[in-house]
Structure 1
């Protein structure tokens, strides 16, 4: 059915171009919008006949008395996907309107098609966002969401993964971005939408069949050209009803990813996420106690040493220092902290302290 708002838009747009009065009626013949305001919400018998028969009705001065609530003109059916959704009427001499009536009918149907398709897409998007919101809320699912999950076949699919895309700024057309993201994964993406103002979620089904790393880097490349941001990658789960676990993992990936890191897997930040469950003041005290007395230079040396898997040659090359200088610094660190960075157990403690300080 044509809404009153759409009817008003059709009249406004078309009247300006034709310089003639137009009426848009619903499928019962009631005038929804008109260039003649006094006719709105009145029954147009000619439109009612069009709605009933699906045929164009021309009304002239000669047969005007046969109808009520009408003026001379041509009234034509408006179809959408083969169904009658309304009637468009042009006021005037039917003979003079023959040349433009078909064009007006075609233009109106194009406007209706665009509007209703857009409304359908928006409705689907809001429905998807509602489903995702309930799935990730941790609360019992409503009957409506249960039914929709069953209808679109999500219960029978295996392996789901959540991707959260954090955009640097709101895009000019977020709808278009979401459509492009869905197309990127083709049939693997089952639900997409907004989870926050500057954040888009993608629920990917069958992630196990994807070359995930390749797909993600391709997606990241696409984003840098259209809507720069970063991607938090959740962990795969085997059921749609466990998607909250994947979502929280993706959320933590964004939360604890390093500044400037654009593609963040939960596995890369899992340890930090676990640590951060402790009170912040205790974590700070731990980091300060372990790293107490170390200068920025020594902390940087430790960071690079651990990043190079405790390889002296690689660390010296990255820091652009002599190996003897590195050996001296590591010895100094042992003296100040009582911990030996070359020993596995001590290196773990130092690594955690550095990670907490830099988080």
Structure 2
């Protein structure tokens, strides 16, 4: 059993450090695969066959082993896994001193075997699910419907049900190279259990990592449950932040989600919405931890601004050239943006900027003259607002005023 050989030494190290006894483990063929004395690993243990045939603990005194090569005094007992004898555990020492430990150490080793097998099975399943998710979210690119249908038939997932994508971003799950201050001690399994508890309440829900810093939840959602989703995500945000804090990981978490769709292509569409929503939300809010919804109007606006084509963006920048060359451009730009965001209400905008109403009107009039625009026109103000929001030079200059 290959996984037994892979973990035998770690079992020996853990068990012997906890119980303060010397241990060896052999596989069913009698090869030592774990031992406190590393020089014995890989050597043949002559009494393994005898212990496996006996099917019970066998005591080896000094007299009994004096003509046996590579056998030490102690007690040897079979190791069982899934009702099969897969090897032998040896507890090394004078039999009368170590015999009392046999049952306890045997139970401990077999428990660790079960835990290791469970973890190994989980990671294999998680990798399979992650690959499936990658096919789903890039469905339009890969054109792999047959592969997806085969997996769905095997796993019992059906994409005639509506699902939305919830994207959970935890940037510090993978610390940057050389970051010794924030080592990560949170297993994928623990994180999966937490996310399952937070989001999984239907057999068609799918949870998986998509990269070292992000997890995805493909959530089956009825239309009447959609309004409750934000509250659920905000509750999840708090618990995930606490989980990271408990593991001494910087607790920066963002959650975003798209709309609900059916079919394979619907998953990719919802994922792209969640991805753009995350990016737009972070830029807009400037928050290290928050929940961002695709159907939030502020998010939609920022997503729209992000999606402006390069050629049209360059045209807008040309339109702003006269303003950018003005010495007071950052102040005028900020004044106009606040004016728009306050519903084009002069009094509210003046209060927001802590300036006199007449000062605000003077700035708007100045802007109108520079750009030759009608400051009372909703259409012209909308275009200028979009132009200013997407212009990098304006955004950076406003950060310093």
What's the TM-score, normalizing by structure 1? 0.81
Q: 1:34 to 1:124 in 2, by over 3 A?
A: same
Shift of the alpha carbon at 1:323? Answer: 3.5
Q: 1:340 to 1:54 in 2, by over 3 A?
A: farther
Shift of the alpha carbon at 1:76? Answer: 2.3
Runs of 4+ in structure 1 over 6 Å off:
61-69
Whether the aligned pair in 1 keeps the contact of 2:74 and 2:93 (CA below 8 Å) is: yes
Map 1:1-359 onto structure 2 (within 5 A).
1=1, 2-15=3-16, 21-35=22-36, 40-41=41-42, 44=45, 46-48=47-49, 51=52, 54-59=55-60, 73-80=74-81, 84-92=85-93, 94-137=95-138, 138-141=141-144, 146-156=149-159, 158-170=161-173, 172-175=184-187, 176-187=190-201, 189-195=205-211, 197=212, 199-208=213-222, 209-210=225-226, 211-225=228-242, 226=244, 227-257=251-281, 258=283, 260-261=286-287, 262-267=290-295, 268=299, 269-276=302-309, 278=311, 281-288=314-321, 293=326, 295-357=329-391
Further displaced range: 128-137 or 217-226:
217-226
**Which consecutive unaligned segments of at least 5 residues does structure 1 have?**
none
Tell me, in whole angstroms, the C-alpha distance in 1 between the residues paired with 2:315 and 2:51. Answer: 77
Q: 1:326 to 1:47 in 2, by over 3 A?
A: same
SS in 1 for 2:307: helix
Whether the aligned pair in 2 keeps the contact of 1:158 and 1:205 (CA below 8 Å) is: no
Q: 1:19 to 1:348 in 2, by over 3 A?
A: closer
Whether the aligned pair in 1 keeps the contact of 2:61 and 2:73 (CA below 8 Å) is: yes
SS in 2 for 1:173: coil
Superposed CA deviations along residues 259-281 of structure 1, whole A, max 9, x for unmatched, are 51433334523312330454764
Whether the aligned pair in 2 keeps the contact of 1:162 and 1:201 (CA below 8 Å) is: no
Whether the aligned pair in 1 keeps the contact of 2:162 and 2:220 (CA below 8 Å) is: yes
SS in 1 for 2:306: helix
Whether the aligned pair in 1 keeps the contact of 2:192 and 2:207 (CA below 8 Å) is: no
Q: 1:153 to 1:289 in 2, by over 3 A?
A: farther
Tell me, in whole angstroms, the C-alpha distance in 2 between the residues paired with 1:51 and 1:140. Answer: 53
Superposed CA deviations along residues 278-335 of structure 1, whole A, max 9, x for unmatched, are 4764453344367764632221221112112223332232223344443443333322
What's the TM-score, normalizing by structure 2? 0.73
Shift of the alpha carbon at 1:105? Answer: 0.7
Shift of the alpha carbon at 1:99? Answer: 0.9
Whether the aligned pair in 2 keeps the contact of 1:157 and 1:206 (CA below 8 Å) is: no
**Which consecutive unaligned segments of at least 5 residues does structure 2 have?**
175-183, 245-250, 396-401
Further displaced range: 231-240 or 53-62:
53-62
